[in-house]
Structure 1
Amino acid sequence: MITVDTEDPGTKEGVTMSAPRRNTKFLMFMIHVNYAIYGMSSHLQGGAFPFVSKKLGVDPTTWGYLQTTIAIAQLAGCPIFGRFGDLYGSRAAMTLTFVGMMVENLLVVMSFSGGIPLLFISRAPMLFIHPMTAFQMAASDLSDEKSRADALAKLNIVSTAGRILGPTIAGWLVEQYGESFTCLVAASMSGLCVALVWGFIPASTKLVDEETAETSSQKKTSLFDYREILRLLRIPVVAEILGIKMFCSVAFFLLNSMMPIIQMEVFKMSPQEYGYFGTYLGIVYLICFSCVSPLTKRFSDINVMRISEIFVTIGDFGLALSNNYWQAGLAFLPRCFGDGILATMINSGLSKGVSAQDTGGVMGLSLSAGHVPHMITPPIAAYLFETFGYRAIGVSCFAINSAMTVYLLRRKDAPST
């Protein structure tokens, strides 16, 4: 461990950092560059995967099982991955994620010869793919409490920039060169991220004073120590915010797990139209993340959460009434706006509720809280879609978010206080 004097206003003097001397602004820049490339890479594969599945004869029910497989892998890996980041640092966590993405893309390409079973196997690397945990941990480590929500929002902005370009490029690549080539391009971009991480990201981004560093090194526990996870869950603020996220995620995954099927089967979108729609949603998210900083400066955390949840509820109501993708696009405006802001406020509140040494663990728990519903909802969504039509999914999401809106309106202060 070495002592680093930094002139950045967001850090304290006499900071201990387990890495060579780095400028905080440069670190944030490189984190943003890698996260933007990740956003583009993930949406390249995301744009190709539904069409790979369709060519292999995947029906809505099997698609639901695929989504459940993803949720199980992510749920199993999230808490351990967060602990991995806390113990071994951001560089190791980011490297593990991007190597997992490379393997995942290559397995998708191989599924054309291996069929649906290999398509399921291609979801296994998701056990190690948790870029959001790794990057949010790094951003939380390099920001103070007052600027935490803004730092996380900026991280989402650069990821959304990749999301805007990714679906459009994916749609064009799929139509011109096929799904396999698109996945190979995504794999090569993940390889580029590995090189950038090893070239510019220090072993650890955590900034702590020397006394805290010595104490934490003495208490360093096993990667699989479940008591550390239980310790975080016993913190009242963490438990309540995770509960809010889990409840909201039920509605989110009810719709999102079936959205590719709805777009292809109900709205009859071509690969390029599918890509354009994804780009449109990316632009909406980009706008919403840009609003986080002015909203948090003007309103309290609880009021920002209330406003965002009201927008999500309005969007779900509009989706239940949509007859084509133009109407669905209008309904997604308030839904994406509210969802993006609420997710940022939840992660900000979680990071404020724990010490700097636990940011990776709590971010891993945050994603786990989302993946529990993700594991359960796809078969339910597939049943609703095949039995009652896609409107039933919109109505269900509207009912769930209406209940959460009432809860937040009745609460007097923010969970993070």
Structure 2
Amino acid sequence: MPAAPAPILLLAALAVAVCQTVVVAALPLFGQDLGVSATTATWLLTAFMLASAVTTPIAGRLGDLYGHRRVLIAGLAALAAGSLLAAASDHAGWFAGLLAGRALQGVSGGVLPAAFGLARRLAPADRLDGLVAALSAMFGVGGALGMVVAGPIVAVTGTPALFWLGLALAVIPLFGALLLPAGPLPSTVDHRRLDVLGAALLSAALVALLLGISQGRAWGWASAATLGTFVACLVAVAAFVAVERRTAVPVVDLRLLRLPALAATNIATVVISVGMFAAVTIIPQYAQTPTRAGYGFGDGPAETGLLMAPTALLMVVTAPLAARLSRRTSGRATFQLGAVLAAVGLGMLGFVHSAPWQFYVAGAILGAAYGFAFASVGTLVVGAVEHHQTGAASGINTILRTIGGALGAQLAVVVLANSATAPSPLPTEAGYTTAFLASAGIAALAFLAALAIPGTMWRVTVPRRVTTS
């Protein structure tokens, strides 16, 4: 008997989102236990995002061509395998293996466009908009839950348990996905053409960009190494665009980027992701700073998780409201509400951050911001394209969301590192103030970017149910 699709798809999206951020609260501990710097430890988050950014558009395209169920199963299998490798490497104290496991986990980013494609094929028309909004919200809800549960788990059982959790979360929806109906495949699939070159160029561009940002301070911002990585990024991007324009089955369909509604939504998504992921990278580091620095709370991972609990709670509460609000007003208005709340919460932390209760209040505001902003994005994307473009369009949006998040995380680390003064390796409190206020400003820019979303997207319409995979 075919399984009910909604719970399986939601669990799959939740598993990916949890695994992405489950290391955030424990990053300082990973650095201490494995003998690496704070910047290097941050790559445990960035490696997942980078692999996800590369894999997601490929998965979206493959789902549109060969069936989203197959892609969903492959992504969850990668999440399970990566979790197993990461757990074993962490037990052995092998940072390189742990980093490889996190990158393999990141391949599961392809689960998200596959889930959107399956939702559009399998969900009843009157429930599609709610399911799409819920899937979009899982990106934020799962991310917040990952940061919250990580602390208590690490405090009781150690860091390897974070990856055993990932294995368990992957296996449950994996079995469910095997029970979903496969659906018919398109009759026009070109099995001879896969855009391997495009994927390689995209990977090179992303690696060069993130490497330049993360290592710029250590190498020197004007050094040949730093400038060389940024030049390599630009060259790879130019080559990628040239290849994609001439490829029959591109990894990223550049024609979709010219759709006004989708382009505006994608730009707003990148901007809000930079601001929000910068914030979630900053907060745990601030909380775990020893009080001898003159700021911070000296928290362990468990206390850090508790500090971020209001964020997760408010995400869960507000995400289901996003679809209703979008129907009553517009998807754009819902997104902008999230951007305003993010700017308020981050701005508050920029001015007052001396007591935990201030983080509880600001965290609740940020949770509501995540819930409204990210739940509305998926609805806007799906409503902007034809049904056969769902996987590709949601894949593009997810990769841009991931790139924005990776940039936000690395930029936050760079801002804090640049504020440190010898002989102390710790950032100054002024560095945190700058980082919080900069994140607030970026969230405000996301509000302005959303103004470009066309008026035709103001009200979310329910697309017709389709029968193709």
- Does TM-score exceed 0.5, indicating one fold? yes
Alignment of 1:111-130 (within 5 A): 111-130=90-109
Shift, 1:138, TM fit: 2.3
1:361 counterpart (392, 401, 413): 392
Report how far residue 85 of structure 1 moved: 2.0
Cα offset, 1:395, TM superposition: 0.7
1:61 has 2:39 as partner: yes
Do the aligned partners of residues 127 and 304 (structure 1) sit closer, same or farther apart at CA in structure 2, a change above 3 Å counting?
Answer: closer
Name the % identity: 19
**Structure 1 residues 364 and 409: alpha-carbon distance in aligned structure 2, compared to 1, 3 A threshold:** closer
**C-alpha spacing 1:249/1:108, structure 2 compared with 1 (3 Å):** same
Is contact 1:305-1:408 (8 Å) kept? yes
**TM superposition shift of 1:252:** 2.0
Among 77, 80, 91, the residue aligned to 1:99: 77
- Structure 2 partner of 1:290: 320
In the TM superposition, what are the counterparts of 1:34-49 in structure 2 within 5 Å? Answer: 34-35=12-13
Question: In the alignment, residue 38 of structure 2 is paired with which amino acid?
Answer: P
Query: Matches of 1:375 and 1:233 in 2, distance apart?
Result: 21
CA contact (8 A) 1:149 1:344 kept: no
Q: 1:283: how far off?
A: 1.1
Quote the offset at 1:383 in angstroms.
2.2
Contact kept? 1:85, 1:134, Cα under 8 Å: yes
The answer to whether residue 352 in structure 2 is matched with residue 382 in structure 1 is: no
Residue from 188, 199, 215 that aligns with 2:168: 188
Q: Taking structure 1 as reference, are residues 94 and 297 closer, same or farther at Cα in structure 2, changes over 3 Å only?
A: same
Choose 284-293 or 320-329, whichever is displaced more.
320-329
Q: Gapped runs of 5+ residues in structure 1?
A: 1-20, 207-212
Alignment counterpart, residue 308 of structure 1, candidates 320, 338, 343: 338
Match of 1:16 in 2: none
**How large is the RMSD of aligned CA atoms in angstroms?**
3.3
Q: CA deviation at 1:186?
A: 3.0
Q: With structure 1 as the length reference, what TM-score do the two structures score?
A: 0.79
Q: Does residue 375 of structure 2 align to residue 352 of structure 1?
A: no
Q: Tell whether 2:355 aligns with 1:324.
A: yes
Cα pair 1:292 1:341 within 8 Å, conserved: yes
Deviation at 1:334, TM superposition (A): 2.2
Contact kept? 1:87, 1:223, Cα under 8 Å:
no
Task: Check conservation: 2:17, 2:139, Cα contact below 8 A.
Answer: yes
1:126 to partner: Cα distance: 3.9
Deviation (angstroms), 1:394: 1.0
Distance 2:332 2:445 in 1: 16
Q: Counterpart in 1 of 2:436? A: 394
Matched, 1:403 2:381: no
Equivalent residue letter for 1:395: L
* Aligned counterpart in structure 2 of residue 238 of structure 1, from 247, 262, 279: 262
CA distance in 2 between partners of 1:40 and 1:250 (Å): 18
Q: 1:34 to 1:181 in 2, by over 3 A?
A: same
CA drift at 1:164: 7.6
Aligned partner letter, 1:118: G
Residue 277 (structure 1) shift: 3.4
Q: Which moved more, 1:85-94 or 1:345-354?
A: 85-94
Partner of 1:86: 64
| d(CA) in 1 for partners of 2:143, 2:281 | 18
Specify the code of the residue in structure 1 equivalent to 2:407: I
Partner of 2:366: 335
Work out whether residues 160 and 283 of structure 1, in 8 Å CA contact, stay in contact via their aligned partners in 2. no
| Cα deviation 1:318-374 (Å, max 9, x = unaligned) | 121222332112112222212321222222111111121221111110111122333
- Kept in 2: contact 1:148–1:348 (CA 8 A): no
Change (3 A) 1:409 1:236: closer
The residue identity in structure 2 corresponding to 1:273 is E
For structure 2, the residue ranges without an aligned partner over 5 or more in a row are 196-248, 290-295, 420-429, 460-469
Question: What TM-score does the superposition give when structure 2 sets the normalisation length?
Answer: 0.71
> Quick check: 2:340–2:369 contact (8 Å CA) kept in 1?
yes
Residue in structure 1 matched with residue 52 of structure 2 by the alignment: 74
CA spacing shift, 1:364–1:267, aligned 2, 3 Å: farther
Cα separation, 1, equivalents of 2:412 and 2:17:
26
CA distance in 1, matches of 2:134, 2:407: 31
**Are 1:136 and 2:120 an aligned pair?**
no
Given that residues 48 and 183 in structure 1 are in contact (C-alpha distance below 8 angstroms), is that contact kept between their aligned partners in structure 2? Answer: no
Q: CA deviation at 1:167?
A: 5.7
Q: Is the 8 A contact 1:100 1:129 kept in 2?
A: yes
1:264 is aligned to 288
Trace 1:202-221 onto structure 2 (pairs within 5 A): 202-204=181-183, 216-218=186-188, 220=190
- Label 1:37 to 1:343 Cα distance change in 2 as closer, same or farther (>3 A): closer
Assess if the C-alpha contact under 8 Å between 2:287 and 2:304 holds in 1: yes
Per-residue CA deviation, residues 22-74 of structure 1 (Å, 9 max, x unaligned), is 58xx2224333544566666666666666334421333322344444333222
Amino acid at match of 2:322: V
- Give 1:286 shift: 0.7
Structure 1 residues 71-80 or 87-96, which shifts more?
Answer: 87-96
* Structure-2 separation of matches of 1:327 and 1:384: 22
* Aligned 8 A contact 1:254 1:378 in 2: yes
- The separation in 1 between residues aligned to 2:161 and 2:12, in whole angstroms, is 22
Distance in 2, matches of 1:34 and 1:127, equals: 13
Preserved contact between residue 301 and residue 414 of structure 1 (Cα < 8 Å): no
SS of 2:254 mapped into structure 1? helix
Which amino acid is 2:405 matched to? H
Rounded to whole Å, the distance in 2 between the matches of 1:65 and 1:41 is 14
Q: Deviations over 1:236-259 (max 9, x none)?
A: 222221112112222123223344
> Any idea what SS the aligned residue of 1:229 has?
coil
Distance 1:145-1:249 versus aligned 2 partners, 3 A rule: farther
The residue that corresponds to 2:271 in the other structure is 247
